[in-house]
Amino acid sequence: MTMRAPACDLPIVFEQASCRVRDATILDRVSLALAAGAPTVLIGPNGAGKTTFIRLAMGLTAPTAGRVTWGGREQAAAVHRAIVFQRPAMLRRSAAANIRYALAAAGVPRAQRRPRASELIALVGLAGLEERPARKLSGGEQQRLALARALAKDPQVLFLDEPTASLDPAATKAIEDVIRAVAARGIKVVMSTHDLGEARRLAGEIVLLHRGRVIESGASEAFFSAPRTEEGRRFIGGELLI
Ligand SMILES: Nc1ncnc2c1ncn2[C@@H]1O[C@H](COP(=O)(O)OP(=O)(O)O)[C@@H](O)[C@H]1O
Ligand SMILES: [Mg+2]
């Protein structure tokens, strides 16, 4: 039997990828590579195209022009990728059962589901809340449960769309801690936020989107200390980009 290395979804490469809906251009000829390493954080004002970018990178939406490839492949089922949507929906079951359900869906054998679920619960800091109905958890706890559920797939890449939107500072910090723990495990995190402080705290790489275009991308430190574009300077300065 020949052993083949498991296919890797990285890098995820956008080549002149556009997304048009009727006469609106939502993403405009985006060329960019998402490579292994520290988190890539997408920033930009509302409507900039962050969610659409994430949907293309996940493979949920196809570009209307250009292409997106995963590890050089144009067709790559999302087995190695997971996504947490902005408002995750929980099953009407306990927190642990929500995770076991995701583990079953990911093909994890029954005997391994309980120990794996406990591990994931601990990773996201929900130990003690295993038997709580998922829908009775606070917003921040539900967001962490959604993270654990996404991790049940054992993904190479984890997409998070504004994971801390509408959370208070303590809940935000808890989520950011989980994101750091996930990244430390070697999982590539690609996330959006409209919180500049969060981008600064988490990003290895920044992608600034505005009106469907990549205005600037590169190392986070360089971006925050010396943005190369006028839009970048204004965005960091707290000005509204319209
Ligand atoms: N399916 C769609 N049909 C029409 N317009 C859309 C669709 N999806 C997104 N848009 C529009 O595209 C723009 C970018 O959306 P989005 O990717 O959600 O941006 P962001 O996440 O940065 O706020 C917004 O103006 C939005 O209204
Ligand atoms: Mg969005």
The answer, yes or no, to whether any atom of ligand 1 lies below 6 A from the CB of 2, is no
Q: What is the pLDDT of residues 37-85, one digit of tens each?
A: 999 999 999 999 999 999 999 999 999 999 999 999 999 898 999 999 9
242 part of a folded domain: no
Residue 48 CA: nearest ligand 1 atom is 22
Distance 47 CA to ligand 2 centre (A): 7
214 part of a folded domain: yes
The candidate with the shortest Cα–Cα distance to 205, out of 9, 11, 43, 29, is 43
Q: How many domains does the chain have?
A: 1
Q: What is the pLDDT of residues 81-121, one digit of tens each?
A: 999 998 889 999 999 999 999 999 999 999 999 999 999 99
**Beta strands across the sheet bearing 65-70:** 24-34, 12-21, 65-70
Place of tokens 């801390």: 164
Distance 130 CA to ligand 1 centre (A): 36
* Ligand 1 atom 16: residue of nearest CA: 49
3 part of a folded domain: no
21 part of a folded domain: yes
2 part of a folded domain: no
The candidate with the shortest Cα–Cα distance to 174, out of 146, 151, 152, 155, is 146
Q: Looking at the chain, which runs of residues are DSSP E strands?
A: 12-21, 24-34, 40-43, 65-70, 81-84, 157-161, 188-192, 205-210, 213-219
User: Which domain covers residue 160, as residue numbers?
Assistant: 12-236
The answer, yes or no, to whether any atom of ligand 1 lies below 6 A from the CB of 51, is yes
Q: Kindly list the protein residues that place their beta carbon closer than 5 angstroms to ligand 2, a single-atom ion.
A: 50-51
CA–CA separation, 149 vs 2, rounded Å?
33
What would the mean pLDDT of 145-154 be, rounded to a whole number?
Answer: 97
Indicate whether this model's pTM tops 0.75. yes
The answer, yes or no, to whether any atom of ligand 1 lies below 6 A from the CB of 26, is yes
The candidate with the shortest Cα–Cα distance to 152, out of 187, 205, 116, 206, is 116
Q: What is the CATH number of the domain that holds 128?
A: 3.40.50.300
Supply 52's token pair. 């659409």
100 part of a folded domain: yes
The answer, yes or no, to whether any atom of ligand 1 lies below 6 A from the CB of 44, is yes
Which residues are registered as beta bridge partners of 37?
none
pLDDT higher than 70, residue 184: yes
Q: Measured on CA atoms in the order 90, 93, 96, 97, is the torsion positive or negative? A: negative
- Residues of the chain with pLDDT > 90: what percent? 91
**Which amino acid belongs to residue 130?**
E
Distance 33 CA to ligand 2 centre (A): 20
SS3 132: coil
* Ligand 1 atom 2: residue of nearest CA: 21
118 part of a folded domain: yes
4 part of a folded domain: no
Average pLDDT, the chain: 95
* Torsion, Cα of 201, 207, 209, 213 (10° steps): 180
